[in-house]
Structure 1
Amino acid sequence: MATNAEIAGRFEEFADLLEANDVEYKPRAYRRAAENIGAHPVPIADRVEAGDEEILEEIDGVGDAISSKVIEYVETGEIEELEELRAELPIDIADITRIEGVGPKTAGKLYRELGIETLDDLEEAAENNEIQEVKGFGPKTEQNIRENIDFAREVGQRQLLGEARPLADDVLAFLDGLKAVERCEVAGSIRRWRETIGDVDALVATEDGEAVVEAFVDWDSVDSEIESGPEKASIRVGEIRVDLRVVVPEEFGSALQYFTGSKDHNVALRNYAIDRGMKLNEYGAFDVSDVEDHEAGQRVGERVAGETEDGMYEALGLPWIPPELREDRGEIAAAENGELPDLLERDDIRGDLHTHTEWSDGNTTIEAMVDAAAEMGYDYYAVADHAEGPGIVGGMGLSDTEILEQVEAIREVAAARDIAVFAGIEANVDADGEIDLSEEVIDALDVIVASTHSALGQDAETATERLVRAAENPAIDVLGHPSGRLLNERSGLDFDATALGAAAAEHGTALEVNANPRRLDLWGSAVQAALEEGAPIAINTDAHQPSTLEYMRWGVHTARRGWAEPADVINTWELEELREFLH
């Protein structure tokens, strides 16, 4: 069964191939449709297969032509027009365009000039100095390609959390409905909410492993079976691999702890156990204080825990450590000393301070976005459309005059609603760390988010100085997606998160965790470094339509990976406290 993310991916590829062929306008329409399909809260393929094709009429940007292609894909597994484009341009477009600075048009030109179809072809051409001979290219571009090949290969093997976690939820719902399943949970990096994952790992406690495996590989959503046995199986759903492991109920907790990881956390925890005469593994926690040969087997010694994950930590005198923290960044010492953070929860969020409307590159009206925020139970909400500036393509940024007009429009909407609505803007942090807004505009706005959209190839020292300068600007309330990265697409700025956190703390500027699953910027370790310096954090969705306000889920878990507590995050604060901060 095709997922929304898989269908969206086909239209992203459509857009890339059309752009590689120098087709104008149409790629933007396909990208808009892809974004809205990917963000749609209901599984589209399920509804289409059930004969409810009207669901496509609900999706903004999906007209008759695109609807017919969605239906064709759901029914046949391919789109004829896309297959024709692939034949015309047989390029691994997704892989090649992961190279920083290589977009679809560049990929198309390199194919036509040098016959480059794959990353291997691209690497070979760069090593042979062939790319710099193509008109419009040069040694610097060729060197950039050479340096980014490994990055493109690595990220091409991983899935975005926002694409994989919904599938993981479906897997758990399916397994939980099986009679033979006593307990089930995801494990691995997806349980730790890493921003990208290799595959989905699921763990089941059962007395009848063969029945669970048999049902798993026969699940209606399975596209292909990779392997199966009495205790484990692997399938593929769309482009994502799902690995199942079954264990007896009394070993579920130890297996869950072991397979959740991370490897570094587990090694540190095992060493902590050894120092206390204990042995930990996937079968349980064992007291080996009276055992001479600890390596005599996996189950040597007296088994003191294993049925529950909490018990594995309790056996060592530790409280349970939340999965997001298990990266060996001080969590075991914090647990030992009673200093684990009281982590932020989704329900702590009171509002969203970085969202877009059709005034810039969003997909709907101010009214629709505000009403959607109110329906989520938020106390406050900010519209922060793009200002003009570097990195904003297609003339979608607002001029100072347009910003002032929008402020008035926002005030009118706010006057008719119970939710507090802030008039904001997303300004552009230029290469020197400055923003280009008039004093009149700054005075008129309630909140200014400033983000990097260009000059993302700066070295770490220059990038840090640039971001620190922005954090020091008294007009800026929130520094949006500081690195400018796009997961699996571009690496963005490399910078010193500790130095940025110190500047943000000193000048009262919030650092954003951008919850869009393509960004998750800041990320866990950067959030932790910033919080250690006392910097305030904002978690925002960067939503471009009502459904993507739900991205907040990804942002909250990313902030949890950085040890964030509710008080650290400005959009958990009471309205008046937030107003004071912004002013």
Structure 2
Amino acid sequence: MNPLAALDAPVDPVVALTRIAWLLERDRQSTYRVEAFRKAARAARRVGADELARKASARTLTDISGIGKTTAAVIVEAVDGGLPGYLADLQASAPHSLAGGGQEIYRAVRGDLHAHTEWSDGGASLEEMAAAATALGHDWLAITDHSPRLTVANGLSAERLAQQLEDIGELNRESGDGARILTGIEVDILDDGTLDQTDEMLGRLDIVTASVHSKLRMDAAPMTRRMVAAVSDPRVNVLGHCTGRRVTGGRGSRPPSVFDARAVFTACAEHGTAVEINSRPERVDPPDDLIELARDLGCLFAIDSDAHAPGQLDFTSLGAQRAEQHGIDADRIVTTWPVDRVLDWAASDV
């Protein structure tokens, strides 16, 4: 399923519900509405095509837990061989791209080094995120759920992370030609620059994206030391949303952290740590002047979605537009690389 190509009738009911959820997420609609369609898709898949058709004919779909009046109407129209009106309206109004530029770089993107699942504060399963990455045409996707100290985001203990690694291994074995899922974490950078996960677990991961989530208003000197220590750690591959700012969104705005960006980005360049261009519309992080500084200092970059749901993976088009605007060559963007090159880079000390 290509989310950027409109579906025509006939369409499978589960595909129709999934596509609606995707388009709503892409348009940043309410989580409640999105989850209603995702829950209905799960319920429809669980019931099976034959029973779904029988209940659609009998108009008893709402007897199935997880299917309400609106989602039942979508299923009925799909079962009857038509294109559900709800889906048709969304497709007609959806822009081909979320960004006004950057298409050449966006087409070059092969993967994403920052994505969340329901294991921490995401809204979808590993399987759903993997399917979405495949649908977008990604070759690979790193799952980077939060680390334990971020309890508000249900951060993963070492034990839970170990279980997730087993589940990712099984998913990859069963995926066939689908996107390869890389093991990873968005690890908190602690106050002294150390990392919020055990050494043993960090050593087992394909990708480590490190971010500051606490004491964002720390004074510039200790914040700089904190960040330099983290990006100099050979296990860290990506510096996530470096200023921590929010420029818009339901949770309000937040000013950027203050630190010596030249010192931090110099350390990134020296240690081969990529500076993330975080593509979430409420972050737009780093700001323009810091992207240019990192570019001029020779840093690598990662255009990441920071997706917390399948439809948000397409946020990378916004990051691609910013990379183009600031003249960043595609080969300096690690998320345009094939998976073997990414893994070699991530495993290297420099």
Fold conserved between structures, TM > 0.5: yes
CA contact (8 A) 1:525 1:562 kept: no
**Separation (CA, whole Å) in 1 of partners of 2:23 and 2:218:** 32
**Separation (CA, whole Å) in 1 of partners of 2:305 and 2:94:** 26
Q: Does 1:547 align with 2:311?
A: yes
**Separation (CA, whole Å) in 1 of partners of 2:113 and 2:272:** 16
The partner residue of 2:161 within 389, 395, 403 is 403
**Separation (CA, whole Å) in 1 of partners of 2:28 and 2:304:** 25
| C-alpha spacing 1:535/1:365, structure 2 compared with 1 (3 Å) | same
The partner residue of 1:508 within 234, 249, 272 is 272
Q: Which has the higher contact order (CA 8 A, sep 6+)?
A: 2
The partner residue of 2:37 within 58, 65, 87 is 58
CA contact (8 A) 1:463 1:495 kept: yes
Aligned to 2:123, what secondary structure does the other structure show? coil
Q: Does 1:381 align with 2:141?
A: yes
| C-alpha spacing 1:170/1:462, structure 2 compared with 1 (3 Å) | farther
**Separation (CA, whole Å) in 2 of partners of 1:451 and 1:425:** 10
CA contact (8 A) 2:114 2:143 kept: yes
State the AA in 2 paired with 1:404: A
CA contact (8 A) 1:350 1:378 kept: yes
Aligned to 2:208, what secondary structure does the other structure show? strand
CA contact (8 A) 1:501 1:531 kept: no
The partner residue of 1:412 within 142, 147, 170 is 170
CA contact (8 A) 1:356 1:543 kept: yes
What is the match of residue 560 of structure 1?
324
**Separation (CA, whole Å) in 2 of partners of 1:565 and 1:382:** 22
| C-alpha spacing 1:393/1:443, structure 2 compared with 1 (3 Å) | closer
State the AA in 1 paired with 2:125: T
What is the match of residue 475 of structure 1?
235
Aligned residues: 273
Aligned to 1:564, what secondary structure does the other structure show? coil
Q: Does 1:426 align with 2:190?
A: no
- Distance apart, 1:469 and its partner CA: 1.4
Taking structure 2 as the reference length, what is the TM-score of the superposition? Answer: 0.70
Q: Deviation string for 1:303-353 (max 9, x for gaps)?
A: xxxxxxxxxxxxxxxxxxxxx9xxxxxxxxxxxxxxxxxx96210100011
What is the match of residue 351 of structure 1?
111
Q: Kindly report which structure 2 residues correspond to 1:115-126, keeping only aligned pairs within 5 A, or say none.
A: none
- Distance apart, 1:438 and its partner CA: 1.4
Taking structure 1 as the reference length, what is the TM-score of the superposition? Answer: 0.43
Q: Does 1:531 align with 2:292?
A: no
What is the match of residue 449 of structure 1?
209
| C-alpha spacing 1:487/1:44, structure 2 compared with 1 (3 Å) | closer
**Separation (CA, whole Å) in 2 of partners of 1:568 and 1:395:** 31
Show structure 2 runs of 5+ residues with no match.
1-20, 41-65, 71-91
- Distance apart, 1:39 and its partner CA: 4.9
Aligned to 2:257, what secondary structure does the other structure show? coil
CA contact (8 A) 1:40 1:59 kept: no
| C-alpha spacing 1:577/1:363, structure 2 compared with 1 (3 Å) | same
What is the match of residue 493 of structure 1?
257
Q: Kindly report which structure 2 residues correspond to 1:277-296, keeping only aligned pairs within 5 A, or say none.
A: none
CA contact (8 A) 2:24 2:34 kept: no
**Separation (CA, whole Å) in 2 of partners of 1:477 and 1:366:** 22
Q: Deviation string for 1:245-280 (max 9, x for gaps)?
A: xxxxxxxxxxxxxxxxxxxxxxxxxxxxxxxxxxxx
Q: Kindly report which structure 2 residues correspond to 1:128-527, keeping only aligned pairs within 5 A, or say none.
A: 345-389=105-149, 392-394=150-152, 396-417=154-175, 418=177, 419-488=179-248, 489-527=253-291
